[in-house]
Amino acid sequence: MEFANDNERQVFEKVLKELPSIVEKCQGYDELYGYKLLPGELYDEKVVEVLIYKFCKAYKFDHDQTVMTLSATLEWRRKFDPISAAFREKHDDALEAVGVLTRDSDAPANLKVITWNLYGGLLKNKEVFSDAQKFLRYRIGLMERGLRLLDFADPTNNSMTQVHDYDGVSIWRMDPQIKKCTKEVINVFQSYYPELLHAKYFINVPSLLTWVYDVVKTFVSEETRKKFVVLNDGKKLGQYVPSAPSAEYGGKSKSSLKELNVKEIKPSEYDIYMLEKTVNAEIE
Ligand code: HEM
C-alpha cells in the first residue's frame, strides 16, 4: 500500500479504527467481498487493510466520503445479499451462458482473473432484460464469484479485468430495457465496488455502434473511463490480454474460452458462515 503523504496514511488508519462503529451503524453487517471486517474468527487483517485502502484511494483519501461510501456499501450488501446472488440463487440459463470467468496465475499483473460478458450472445434472448432486478442479481453474482478468484494480499492479483464481447449486436438498437439494465449495473459497480477493475475491453464492436459507447460512457466516472479500450476486431484482444484464447481472441491460449471457464468457484469461509446465517434465519 502506498501513501503519497502522512495525511493519506492518517485517513486510512482513522477509517480502520472506525470500522466497529461503521459496522454498528449498518446493523452489525461486517462482510465485504467474502471477508470479515472486524477481528474474530475468520478475520484476515491484511486483506481488510487492502479493502479499506481501496475505498480510501477511490475517494482520494477524503475521510468523510470514504466512510459514507463504505457505510453505503455495507448497507447495500446487507439488503441485496450479493453472497446469495453468487452462490445460492439459480439464474436464467440464457444469462449464465454468457458469463465466463477465467483464471491464469501466470498472466501479467491484474490480468490473471478475467470476467467475460458475451453480451452479443443475448441477441436471441432479449427477454432477459425485461426484469432489471433479475439481471442485476445475475451480474452481481458473477462479479462476486470473480472477486473470489482474486487474492487481495497479492498486489499483482487484487483487481480484475473484464471483457465485453459484442459479437452479433450489429442489428440491435439500444432499447430502453437494455439501457435500464446497463445503467443499473453501472451504478452498483461505481458505488459499491471501488478500485476492483484493472481494465475493461469492449470487443467486436461494429463501427456503426460506436455511438453506443458515447452514450454509455456518460454514465461512468472519468477515472473508470480511463480503463476502457474499445476494439472493433475481437482478435486484437490478444495484444492486450496475452492469455486469451488464440482462435477466438488472438491470444496465446490453445484452449477455447469454454474450456477455460472456471465453473466451480468456492465461497470463502466467511461466505459460508453468512449463507448459513441466512438459511437459519429463514428456518426460524
Ligand atoms: C456496460 C450490455 C452494447 C459499451 C454494459 C453493461 C451491460 C451492457 C449489462 C453493464 C456493465 C457490465 O455488465 O459489466 C450491453 C448490451 C449491448 C451493449 C446488451 C447490446 C446492445 C454496447 C456497445 C458498446 C457498449 C455497442 C460500445 C462500445 C458499454 C460501456 C459500458 C457498458 C462503455 C460501461 C462499462 C462499465 O461501467 O463497467 N453494457 N451493451 N455497450 N457497455 Fe454495453
- Has residue 274 got a pLDDT over 90? yes
> Which of the four pLDDT bands, split at 50, 70 and 90, describes residue 263?
confident
pTM: 0.96
pLDDT of residue 124: 82
Section 204-212 average pLDDT: 89
Domains defined along the chain, listed by start: 6-80 (no CATH), 87-260 (3.40.525.10)
Cell of 87: 452462490
The number of the ligand 1 atom at minimal distance from the alpha carbon of 139 is 13
Ligand 1 probe mutation, 164, 174, 191, 232, most atoms within 8 A of CB? 164
Cα dihedral 123, 160, 219, 236 in deg (nearest 10)? -60
- 113-166 pLDDT tens trace: 999 999 998 878 889 999 999 999 999 999 999 999 999 999 999 999 999 999
So what's the ipTM on this one?
0.95
> Which of the four pLDDT bands, split at 50, 70 and 90, describes residue 208?
confident
Residue 268 pairs in a beta bridge with none
Residue 200 Cβ < 6 Å to ligand 1: yes
Mean pLDDT in the chain? 95
* Residue 282 identity: E
- Has residue 7 got a pLDDT over 90? yes
Ligand 1 probe mutation, 182, 215, 228, most atoms within 8 A of CB? 182
- 29-43 pLDDT tens trace: 999 999 999 999 999
Shortest-distance Cα residue to atom 20 of ligand 1: 169
> Which of the four pLDDT bands, split at 50, 70 and 90, describes residue 171?
low
> Which of the four pLDDT bands, split at 50, 70 and 90, describes residue 62?
very high
Shortest-distance Cα residue to atom 28 of ligand 1: 213
- Convert 137-185 into a string of H (helix), E (strand) and C (coil): HHHHHHHHHHHCCCCCCCCCCCCEEEEEECCCCCCCCCCHHHHHHHHHH
